[in-house]
Structure 1
């Protein structure tokens, strides 16, 4: 199999992320009204079901680095996609709360396993100097999935079973593509390769600081993800059908997050973090100030989508660079922190909205985001990078041809890895 270029790999990874994150995870909230009406579920039950993919995502994220290391990039990605196919198909055939809950739980596992699998493949196929850029492009695939899901909501809202069955078919195509294109190289170690160095105290400290910023970003963003549609309908008086355009704008603008690696490299990560957090906070304030103006509401969604995807891409890139040689582990902590922040912020913003109203609740969360942005000088800097290794020492050649030795250290033969011949 010919080694794919970094551009080809990043676009393919973005497509898999679009399926696992955009369709399997974020699309559910858009289909809640027709699902609840057809299955006769109460808001309380829907709230419990809506929390299940977050729980399964966190559980899967805990074991994802070990799965990627043990199974290899290809099999870990196929396993992730398999959970996605099963979950989406089960949602499309749901007859009650139990089957629906199992479906969304499986989709959360799909989301938690996918990115570590892709970063494991990236370690073998992409030069280290391009890891940040490729990771940011793959992360922006979430926006593609969100953008694809929105037209389905607008035109298939009454046929949500057909929409989810279509998503399951797309996920199955993704599984086949992952099996065909991704190498199973992360579990293969040449005989003369040294293990990655242990994580130092400095790395742990910087990873903790990164996770705190990721947690606070997830905390602030939860207001928009959960209550933005309710705000424009309840406070602004817009028709419920118009809320889909907010998500479409969010998905399209989120594609700009693909350039966050270059922005961070040119302006340093702390400046990028401060700028994007300010934009995210401004989007909350803008929506709360003019919820009845559709164009302003859509503009706020554009700002939010760009800021959110840029920040998640920045945290992903920083986690990878803070733990060089551990690409299947670096993104785990910030992604878990973002999810925990969203889980913490959702009930709190609901309480504030009930107590003070939408405008004041969003204003308070916006103020929290601005405060965190002012603390961006504490954002962890990258570790000093090692000198760039020759291409054959990065895993590109070892991925496709390496020497096995028997117990007497006698060379046996050159064995290609599993894959396309």
Structure 2
């Protein structure tokens, strides 16, 4: 099978990421209010359920790079899509917290496998100087997936069970696309005759520093992904339908994150990520101050979408450039750190909301974002060319 061009690979990757990240993982927050109402779940229980996607993502990330090397880009992406089908279907049939958590857990595994699969196939279709840009475009697929989930929910009259059946059908289409278009084997640029190249000590140190700031971002962002719709409904007194507009705005604004790679190359990845973290904090603060105003809530969603998608793009590009001979490993480390942070942050947010209310929880997480932004000296230095990164 002829390898797709760089443009085609970026488009295909964005579609697969849209399903695995946008639909299977992050669209869940859109449906928290109706799921809570129908199943009678409290905020702390829903926080724990929401954390299952982050927990399973983190566990999967520990083996995802090796699995991508073993199964290849095509096999790994097909496995991810199959787990997406299973998880989304299980959610659609859930009658309580346990099956709901199982479905969310499976969706997290789907998410954890997809980016390593696509990264493993980059060298087959994409020249090294273009890999950062292609990766940023693929990463922006998360925003597209979140955005398209909203009109689906509207079209089905906010019937969350029917919506998740439709999402499972999307995952099935992605499985077919992965089988048809992704390369069977990876051909990483810069590899040593196809053999796995050991990491140098300075690469370990740089990845650890990257993981630290990514963890902080994961903690800070968790409250928004799980409880932002709940915030405007419960605290702001808005109707349940506003949740859809919130997520649509977040998804569309997040498409700007596709430009994060070029911006980071021009102004520096470290300063760019600190600025994005401050924008994320601002999104949390303004929705806390004015939860009942639609224009403010939508502005908050737009800021969060731009900040989050830019941050994840910056982290995955940095990871790939820090270990250019291990393409499947590069995005795993920061994404794992983000997921661990979200797994910690989600139940913490639910506990804070149950005990102190939405406003206290959102402001506390905004402070975490600001604190992480202040860790700018910790961010490792990377280069946009083919030379090894400076540490």
With structure 2 as the length reference, what TM-score do the two structures score? 0.91
Deviation, structure 1 residue 30: 2.2
**What corresponds to 1:293 in structure 2?**
293
CA distance 1:85–1:384, change in 2 (3 Å): closer
In 1, are the aligned partners of 2:254 and 2:306 still within 8 Å (CA)?
yes
In 1, are the aligned partners of 2:316 and 2:331 still within 8 Å (CA)?
yes
Deviation, structure 1 residue 192: 8.3
Tell me whether 300-309 or 288-297 shows the greater mean CA deviation.
288-297
- What is the alpha-carbon distance in structure 2 between the residues aligned to residue 351 and residue 101 of structure 1? 17
**What corresponds to 2:17 in structure 1?**
17
- What is the alpha-carbon distance in structure 2 between the residues aligned to residue 158 and residue 228 of structure 1? 17
Partner SS, residue 197 of structure 2? coil
Deviation, structure 1 residue 213: 0.5
CA distance 1:299–1:47, change in 2 (3 Å): closer
Instruction: Please say if 1:183 is aligned against 2:183.
Output: yes
Deviation, structure 1 residue 134: 0.8
Q: Which runs of 5+ in 2 are unaligned?
A: none
**What corresponds to 1:404 in structure 2?**
none
**What corresponds to 1:280 in structure 2?**
280
Deviation, structure 1 residue 107: 1.5
Deviation, structure 1 residue 313: 0.7
**What corresponds to 2:29 in structure 1?**
29
**What corresponds to 1:303 in structure 2?**
303
- What is the alpha-carbon distance in structure 2 between the residues aligned to residue 113 and residue 252 of structure 1? 24
CA distance 1:117–1:44, change in 2 (3 Å): same
The aligned runs of 1:216-231 (5 Å cut-off) are 216-231=216-231
1:5-31 CA distance string (max 9 Å, x none):
211110110000111111111222322
CA distance 1:218–1:69, change in 2 (3 Å): same
CA distance 1:101–1:187, change in 2 (3 Å): farther
**What corresponds to 1:86 in structure 2?**
86
Partner SS, residue 244 of structure 1? helix
CA distance 1:155–1:5, change in 2 (3 Å): same
1:310-329 CA distance string (max 9 Å, x none):
00110010011111111111
RMSD between superposed Cα atoms in Å = 2.6
Deviation, structure 1 residue 95: 4.6
The aligned runs of 1:369-408 (5 Å cut-off) are 369-382=369-382, 385-386=385-386
Deviation, structure 1 residue 99: 3.9
**What corresponds to 1:402 in structure 2?**
none
- What is the alpha-carbon distance in structure 1 between the residues aligned to residue 375 and residue 226 of structure 2? 26
Deviation, structure 1 residue 2: 3.3
In 1, are the aligned partners of 2:284 and 2:363 still within 8 Å (CA)?
yes
Q: Which runs of 5+ in 1 are unaligned?
A: 389-421
In 2, are the aligned partners of 1:260 and 1:310 still within 8 Å (CA)?
yes
For this pair of structures, how many residues does the alignment match? 388
In 2, are the aligned partners of 1:220 and 1:345 still within 8 Å (CA)?
yes
Partner SS, residue 339 of structure 2? helix
Tell me whether 239-248 or 7-16 shows the greater mean CA deviation.
239-248
Instruction: Please say if 1:214 is aligned against 2:206.
Output: no
CA distance 1:143–1:125, change in 2 (3 Å): same
**What corresponds to 1:339 in structure 2?**
339
RCO comparison, higher one (Cα < 8 Å, 6+): 2
**What corresponds to 1:152 in structure 2?**
152
1:172-207 CA distance string (max 9 Å, x none):
111111111011122899x98163532111111111
Instruction: Please say if 1:77 is aligned against 2:100.
Output: no
Tell me whether 83-92 or 327-336 shows the greater mean CA deviation.
83-92
In 1, are the aligned partners of 2:211 and 2:337 still within 8 Å (CA)?
yes
In 2, are the aligned partners of 1:90 and 1:103 still within 8 Å (CA)?
yes
User: Larger radius of gyration, structure 1 or 2?
Assistant: 1
- What is the alpha-carbon distance in structure 2 between the residues aligned to residue 223 and residue 384 of structure 1? 33
The aligned runs of 1:95-110 (5 Å cut-off) are 95-110=95-110
**What corresponds to 1:243 in structure 2?**
243
Tell me whether 322-331 or 371-380 shows the greater mean CA deviation.
371-380
Instruction: Please say if 1:330 is aligned against 2:358.
Output: no
- What is the alpha-carbon distance in structure 1 between the residues aligned to residue 373 and residue 6 of structure 2? 32
Instruction: Please say if 1:201 is aligned against 2:201.
Output: yes
Tell me whether 336-345 or 41-50 shows the greater mean CA deviation.
41-50
Deviation, structure 1 residue 377: 3.1
CA distance 1:371–1:387, change in 2 (3 Å): closer
CA distance 1:81–1:237, change in 2 (3 Å): same
